[in-house]
Structure formats: C-alpha cells, structure tokens
Structure 1
Amino acid sequence: MEIVNSNCASLSNYEVLEHLQKVKDCRPKHKGQLATITYETLRYLENTPCKDQTEESIKECIKELAPFKLHKTELLIMINSPPVTPLEIQFIVEESEERLTEDQVQEILSIISKHFPHVQKTPQNEDEQSE
C-alpha cells in the first residue's frame, strides 16, 4: 500500500455538516446511494452538538485549550462530543491522570461550556459527577 497524500486532515462534525449542507443546496437532486448517504448523514449530524457550533466558537475553544497540550485527536473528540464531566475527559485524554490536574480538568470543562453553551449537563451527568 502506498500513501498518496500524507497531508490529509481529520474533519470535525461541524465541517462535515457545513459541507454536506452546501452540497445539498448547490447541486441538483441526486439519485440513488449518494442522495441517501447525504440525507442520512445530515439527519444524524443535525441531532449532535455540531448543529449549534460556529466556526468562531470552535477556533476560540481550540485557542483556549492550547496551554493543555492536548493531541489533535483529543481536541477533535472534544469538539465533536463536548465533555460535561471529568469522567468524560478521562476517557478522551490519554493518560489524563498524569497529564492533567483536577483543576486543569475543571478549567477544560469551563472552557468547553463557555464556547458550547448548548451542551448542557443532563440530570444523569450530574448524578455521575456527584458519585
């Protein structure tokens, strides 16, 4: 197997949603599998936190998270599925116990909630945090 393009990057759910909406709006109606895939993907993404995100909120969030030296993949996961509890951060950040203090985890959560206020704690999440 040969690497054709070593400069490819991962896309956030927000970027995929924006692109698919442009494709849907600009092109004539597709028929067949492409239309189905576009429709189903749009339907899925419109039920995720990315539907309320903006390019500016994502950029600002990434800037504020820079001091924590998170990997690109960790940042992408935090953008796609913003954490609301310390436990979620432990799942996202590799070796989080060694890399982050409890204060840093709380600061990350406050940055996430500042830039993505639409992501709210559910009663279930609050119960998990109090345990």
Structure 2
Amino acid sequence: MEVINKNVALLSNYEVYEKLLEHQEHMKKKKGPALGKAQNLATVVYQTANYLSSTPCKGQNPKCIGEVLTALKKYNLTKAEKLQLINLTPCTPVEMQLVIEEMDERFKDQEIDEMCEIIRTHLLKPKPDDNDAPAQ
C-alpha cells in the first residue's frame, strides 16, 4: 500500500473494514510464507478486521451510508460529526451529545430525535427478538 495524498479524505469504519477484507483476500492468493514485517502486518490486519466485524460497520454498505448523509444534510453537521455518527451509530440523545459539538445550542430536541431516528433507520439492523422467532 502506498499513500499518495494523505489529506484527501477521512475514512469510515466501513471503508477501512472493506479494505482490510480486500487485503486479506489478496494475501491469501499470494504465495509464500509471511515473514518479518509482513507477518506483523497480517496480525494487525486480522485483529483490526476482527474488531470491526463486531461493530455496526459490518452491516453497513455504501447505499445506507449515502442515505444517512443525504438525510443529515439539513442539519449542517461538520464532516467529522457525520463521520462519527456513521462510525459510532449513536441511538440516544445522550450518545449524540458526545459526538456533536454544542448540540443543545445548535439543535432543538425534536431535531435531535430526528437524527437519532435517521441513524436507527438506516445504519442499525433490527435485532431479532426472541418473541419474533418462529415456533418449532
């Protein structure tokens, strides 16, 4: 990997996860044992991908991220705030307050609830309830 321009853009956890999975597939196809730094890189890639697979980014895709960004446009959030909303998927006003600077001064309670609903709707997959499971 080579960084051509380090100031181009920030990456979401989803984008990092996808690149790590691509790298793992590439390394599986490559022949020969991993030695030295390559083995250390393989460990870091594996552990990072393993961690990210347990976060909401595993269920995300470019379409749902695009929908969230479109829905959040009217709130005039900074790029960093949007990125953190996508990465951390806060679902409550308390969690949102940790991500959005001066949230209480910038937004009404109704707007905060709307943003929480946008996150819930587009980025979080509903977890199946035990009550909804089919009887066997």
- Count the aligned residue pairs: 117
- RMSD of the alignment, in Å? 1.8
Evaluate the alpha carbon distance shift between residue 54 and residue 5 of structure 1 in structure 2; reply closer, same or farther with a 3 A threshold. Answer: closer
Paired residue for 2:62, among 52, 55, 68? 55
Q: 1:13 maps to which residue? A: 13
For residues 28-107 of structure 1, the aligned pairs below 5 Å read 28=30, 30-31=34-35, 32-107=39-114
Normalising by the residue count of structure 2, what TM-score does the alignment of the two structures yield? 0.80
For structure 1, the residue ranges without an aligned partner over 5 or more in a row are 121-131
Percent identity between matched residues is: 38
User: Are residue 26 (structure 1) and residue 16 (structure 2) matched?
Assistant: no
State the AA in 2 paired with 1:96.
M
Name the larger-Rg structure: 2
Query: CA shift at 1:30, angstroms?
Result: 4.0
For structure 2, the residue ranges without an aligned partner over 5 or more in a row are 128-136
The DSSP-based 3-state class of the residue aligned with 1:84 is coil
The DSSP-based 3-state class of the residue aligned with 2:81 is helix
Normalising by the residue count of structure 1, what TM-score does the alignment of the two structures yield? 0.82
